[in-house]
């Protein structure tokens, strides 16, 4: 039997009323009510029957329903304890979905997703977008594609190039592991309630190999963090704040071909890689 589409204002209102659910602002609950956008997310993720998908924050099952209809094998993680019961009704027609109640930042994603590659598809709760994205990237999980709705400013930071105001540690992390592309622009009216910000769906295709060769990934991200720690810090001062000796700093930057007075926001990923690899080598030679 054809199921009513949850991504619809009337259907969503009905579900909220029927289960007496008051949406929580604190949990970033802005549910999609635009079936075109929901389908756009599924298309951006290129969902094929049998694809393993992790959905973060299913809410009342709006996007989940479309993923199920596309034939994905869906695992959802939802923090709000009131929702699994509601989801068992709204998604009762589907046997290709599993709901786990928990915090996406605390559950063991590798364990719940098991072996084999999977995709992440989500309309993220905006209050913890960056920690979630970093968690997905840094854990070295077998993820092939991350398709997420985020606030427009975050999408701009994810896809930013060196030199601009939006370029920072998030740009480097996302672009080191993935190739991010803006898939859809989404206005506030596509949600209930409408958020105060514009939204964007970003499609991050995970690279088979990270963008640059590193001797020590931890060292690379320490340098990146130090360089963007204080926006106007020079590279010289950034490395100083990491406790690197001043003579070594001069030597490392000269070898990497980076002027000590340059600031983090002007450095390319290759330049960050060169600095961190020379630092790692120096540490190994000590």
Q: What is the DSSP string of 170-222?
A: HHHHHHHHEEEEEEEEE-GGGEESPPSS-EEEEEEEEPSS-SS--S-HHHHHH
- Whole-angstrom distance, CA of residue 67 vs CA of residue 96: 9
The nearer residue to ligand SAM, 29 or 171, going by C-beta atoms, is 29
Of the candidates 192, 63, 71, the one whose C-alpha atom is nearest the C-alpha of residue 122 is: 63
Q: What is the DSSP string of 50-101?
A: T-EEEEE--TTTHHHHHHHHTT-EEEEEE--TTHHHHHHHHTTT-SSEEEEE
Please check whether residue 4 is in contact with residue 88, taking contact to mean a CB–CB distance below 8 angstroms.
Answer: no
The nearer residue to ligand SAM, 42 or 128, going by C-beta atoms, is 128
- Whole-angstrom distance, CA of residue 80 vs CA of residue 87: 11
Shortest Å distance, C-beta 175 to ligand SAM: 25
Shortest Å distance, C-beta 285 to ligand SAM: 43
Shortest Å distance, C-beta 33 to ligand SAM: 8
The nearer residue to ligand SAM, 40 or 58, going by C-beta atoms, is 58
The nearer residue to ligand SAM, 99 or 249, going by C-beta atoms, is 99
Shortest Å distance, C-beta 268 to ligand SAM: 33
Alpha helices by DSSP H, 103-151: 109-113, 129-138
Q: Are strands 31-32 and 191-192 parallel, antiparallel or unpaired?
A: antiparallel
Shortest Å distance, C-beta 127 to ligand SAM: 7
Residue that the structure tokens 């930071």 belong to: 157
The nearer residue to ligand SAM, 31 or 177, going by C-beta atoms, is 31
The nearer residue to ligand SAM, 175 or 199, going by C-beta atoms, is 199
Shortest Å distance, C-beta 126 to ligand SAM: 7
Q: Which residue's beta carbon is nearest to the bound ligand SAM? A: 57
Of the candidates 155, 171, 74, the one whose C-alpha atom is nearest the C-alpha of residue 120 is: 74
What is the arrangement of strands in the sheet containing 52-56, beginning at the earlier edge strand? 97-101, 73-78, 52-56, 118-123, 143-151, 199-206, 178-186
Q: Please tell me the number of Cα atoms within 13 Å of 58 on its side-chain side.
A: 32
The nearer residue to ligand SAM, 37 or 238, going by C-beta atoms, is 37
Q: Catalog residues that contact ligand SAM under the rule CB under 6 A.
A: 27-32, 56-59, 62-63, 77-80, 103-105, 123, 125, 128
The nearer residue to ligand SAM, 91 or 219, going by C-beta atoms, is 91
Shortest Å distance, C-beta 210 to ligand SAM: 26
Shortest Å distance, C-beta 245 to ligand SAM: 41
Residue that the structure tokens 């450095």 belong to: 267
């Amino acid at each position: 039997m054809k199921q009513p589409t949850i991504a619809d204002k009337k259907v969503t209102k009905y579900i909220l009323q029927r289960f007496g659910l008051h949406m929580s602002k604190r949990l970033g609950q802005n549910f999609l009510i635009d079936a075109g956008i929901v389908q756009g997310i599924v298309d951006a993720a290129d969902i094929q029957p049998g694809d393993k998908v992790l959905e973060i924050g299913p809410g009342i099952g709006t996007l989940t329903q479309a993923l199920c209809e596309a034939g994905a094998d869906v695992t959802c993680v939802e923090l709000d304890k009131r929702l699994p019961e509601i989801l068992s009704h709204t998604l009762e027609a589907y046997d290709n979905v599993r709901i786990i109640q928990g915090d996406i930042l605390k559950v063991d994603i590798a364990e719940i997703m098991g072996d084999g590659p999977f995709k992440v598809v989500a309309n993220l709760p905006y209050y913890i977008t960056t920690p979630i994205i970093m968690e997905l990237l840094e854990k070295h999980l077998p993820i092939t594609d991350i398709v997420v709705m985020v606030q427009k400013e975050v999408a701009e930071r994810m896809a930013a190039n060196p030199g601009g105001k939006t370029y920072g540690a998030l740009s480097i992390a996302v672009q080191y592991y993935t190739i991010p592309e803006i898939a859809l622009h989404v206005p506030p009216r596509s949600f209930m309630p409408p958020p105060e910000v514009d939204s964007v769906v970003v499609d991050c295709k995970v690279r088979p190999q990270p963008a640059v060769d590193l001797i020590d990934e931890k060292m690379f991200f320490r340098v990146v963090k130090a360089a963007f720690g204080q926006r106007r810090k020079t590279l010289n001062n950034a490395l100083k704040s990491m406790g690197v000796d001043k003579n070594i700093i001069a030597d490392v930057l000269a070898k990497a071909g980076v002027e000590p007075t340059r600031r983090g926001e002007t450095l390319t990923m290759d330049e960050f890689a060169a600095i961190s690899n020379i630092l790692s080598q120096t540490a190994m030679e000590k």
